[in-house]
Every structure is written in structure tokens, then in C-alpha cells.
Amino acid sequence: MKTYFLTAFEKDGKNVLDESFEAENDDSAKEIGTKKLMESGYHEHTHRCVAPDGRLVLFHR
């Protein structure tokens, strides 16, 4: 399992979601990250999910 990092921002740059979670691979991390964003209501905010090596797995502006 790898640790991925999910962050969501307000338009002014304020960080409204910052958490880490574990997933087996990038596809699984994308699904988990999307689910967490939907559950928290931040799916329309600017957000990103980053793999342990720094690659973007999920991004929305």
C-alpha cells in the first residue's frame, strides 16, 4: 500500500481539506480521492491528489 495525499482549496487559496490515505495503486487512489471529495462536498473546489513520488493522480481547477 502507498500513501497518497488529498488537498482541496477555496478560491482564495485557503486549504479546506488536507488528508492522507492508503491505496494499492493510482487508479484506486483516484477512486478513493474522488469519493472523499464527494462525501466532504469539496468535489467542485480546486483539488489535487498526489502520489508518494509527487505525481498528480487527480486534479481539478
| HSE-CB for 50 with a 13 A CA cutoff | 10
- Residue-level pLDDT at 29: 98
Q: What is the mean pLDDT of residues 46-59?
A: 97
Mean pLDDT score, 38-49: 96
Q: Give this prediction's pTM.
A: 0.91
> Which range of residues forms the domain containing residue 24?
2-60
Supply the pLDDT for residue 54.
Answer: 96
Per-residue pLDDT band for 10 (boundaries 50, 70, 90) equals: very high
- pLDDT tens digit sequence for 12-43: 999 999 999 999 999 999 999 999 999 999 99
